[in-house]
Structures are given as C-alpha cells and as structure tokens.
Chains A and B, each alone.
Chain A
Amino acid sequence: MNPLIQSIGELDRVIHEPGRLMIVALLSAVERTDFLYLQHETGMNKGTLSSHLSRLEEAGYVEIEKTYRGKVPRTLLGLTQAGRSAFEQYRRTLKGAL
C-alpha cells in the first residue's frame, strides 16, 4: 500500500470526525471562546456540541471552564497544548496524504 494513502488510516480519529474537526479548527485560531460562539459557527444543537466537546475533553484536547458573567453562566473553551499539537499533526498528515 502507498505509504501516503496508508497515513490516512493513521489520522487522529478524535479530530477526524467532521463535527469535532470544525470545533478544533475554530478553537485553534483563538485563545478562548464560549459555547454560544461555537454553536453559532458550527450550527450544531446544544446536545451534539456538548457531546463532541466531552469527547475532546476526554482526549485532553480541549479544556472547559464553567464561569459566570455577572449572573449569567458562561462556558469557556480553549484548546490545550496537546490539542494544538494534535491538530497541527492532523493537518500535516492530511496535507501529505492528499
């Protein structure tokens, strides 16, 4: 098998899922953002977005901070260093394979 094609099989499956790829790509371009922004940009409903974020948090790629702005609860999200490295690796692998 062509090693470049084979590398597609080694893509990080946590990031490779389309919904999670959108989330990680958006988070990689910023320091932090909130749940509402991700919902607005990705068009996902709350349940789906929460599910993807939980998976990314389990993998150690995203850190989630629940805080308040005045009396309004706010969920802040950011990529961890591991998440940034994993995304960069994912991009390199995909670029190389395609």
Chain B
Amino acid sequence: MDRVASLLNRPRVYYNIDGVGELGMGFMLLGYALLGLLQAHTSKDAIWHTTYGFLVYLGVMCLVIHYGSKAIKQHITYPRTGFVAYRKRDTLWIPMSAGFGISVVMSAGLVLAARSKWNMTSLVALIGLAMAAMYAYRIATAVQWKWFVVLAMVAGSVLIAFSPAALLAAVGDGGREATATFASFAAALRLWEVLFGAMFMISGGISFWLYLRHTSAPARDIK
C-alpha cells in the first residue's frame, strides 16, 4: 500500500519537476518585496501608493507568472516528459479553502500578536519556520537535495528573528508606518520576502537546470 500511496503522490510532485512551481513562488515573493520597497522609499503621491497602481502591478505580476509557467510547460516540459492535467479539486477548491483558512488564522494571529505587543520580527520568523516545515514535508521528502533549501529557510528565519535594527531600517519605511509595531512587522516581512524569494528562485533554477540535463528534447521530424 505504501508503493501505491507513493504513486498517488507522483503527479503532484511532477508539477515542480522543472522547478516552475518554485520559480513562480520566488518571482511572486520578490515582486511583493520590490513593491514594498518602492512604497517605502518613494513619495506618498507616487503611483505605488495608489490602489490602481497596486492592482496593475499585481495583475502584471500574475500574468508573468501564469504565462511564463505555461510557456515553460508547453514548450519544454510536456514535449520532454509528458502532459498532466490536474483535477479541479486539487488545483482550485482545496488550495482556495486552505488559503482562506490559513489567511483567517494568520489575520487573527497578527491582531492578537499586535495587541499583546509581541516581537513582530519573531512572528515573521515563525512564519518562515512554518513554511520550512511544509516545504520539508511536501518537497524535500520527495527530492533529497531540497533538504539544503530547508536548511537555508531555517537559517533565513533565524536571521530574521535576530536581524539588527539597521537592516530592518534599510528595508523598512523610515518611520512612516502608522505604528512602531506595524513598522517592524512590515520590515521583517519584506526581509522574509527577499530571503525566501531568492531561495525559491535559486532552488527552482537548479531544478530547471537539472531537469534539462537529465531529459532529452523530443526528436524533430526532418523534412
């Protein structure tokens, strides 16, 4: 039964066989970090502070991730190792429900943490550790070398927890946030986005390179 269970997991792992999942995640995190930095270090009337500017930025980011992933899948992955269409239950309903649940829990946790005057950088570090645990469970158990990525995530989370004030100030907003609590949370979150975004991009890039190395391009018909 263990062999059957591991077979059932294979298609899910296949989505990231070319590193596309991680590249998309890394691009999104770095994109959010860049937006945060632009908002923190530009004047209040700059486009990055407007709702439409934010929505356009988000829209462009999503389009790049969606069509970039699709292009890699259609032109590289599917011709080399085959095509998979996942069930809506696995690509839409479950992730949406899980995302909603996690958002509710995290929002409540943030409000509680802010009111209890917790150290917000430690809270962000905990988020990083939780992500490292999920990554270890879902991905590193299937692809052994990804344990190094787990170690990097744990190290990054510890770095965030003990990050010096100067580093937080460099990625923060220079004191323009409404409260000191929110300012430290925003700065720590930005640092988390940069570190984890870079980790995902590097890991996804390595996966992509390994995938190209270990698979062959389909033979072209000679006319």
Contact = CB atoms under 8 A, between A and B. Distances in A.
Interface of A: 21-22, 25-26, 28-41, 72, 74, 76, 91, 94-95, 98
Nearest to A30: B11
19 contacts: A25-B4, A25-B8, A26-B10, A28-B8, A29-B7, A29-B8, A30-B84, A30-B85, A30-B86, A30-B87, A32-B85, A33-B83, A37-B14, A37-B84, A40-B81, A91-B1, A91-B4, A94-B1, A95-B1
A12 B4 CA distance: 15
B83 A34 contact: yes
Contacts of B79: 72
Interface centre among A38, A41, A72, A94 (most CB of B within 10 A): A41
Interface string B1-40: 1001001111110100000000000000000000000000
Contacts of A76: 83
A34 B82 contact: yes
Contacts of A98: 1
Interface range on chain B (Cβ under 8 Å from partner): 10 to 19
B85 A37 contact: no
Nearest to B88: A31
A34 B86 CA distance: 12
Given A25-B8, A33-B85, 18 more contacts: A26-B7, A26-B10, A29-B8, A29-B11, A29-B12, A30-B84, A31-B85, A31-B87, A31-B88, A33-B82, A34-B84, A36-B83, A37-B83, A39-B82, A40-B82, A41-B10, A91-B4, A95-B1
The 3 closest A-B pairs by CB, nearest first: A37-B82, A36-B82, A25-B7
B4 A26 contact: no
Nearest to B91: A31
A22 B7 contact: yes
Contacts of B7: 22, 25-26, 29
Contacts of B87: 29-31
Nearest to A18: B3
Contacts of A37: 14, 81-84
Interface in B101-122: none
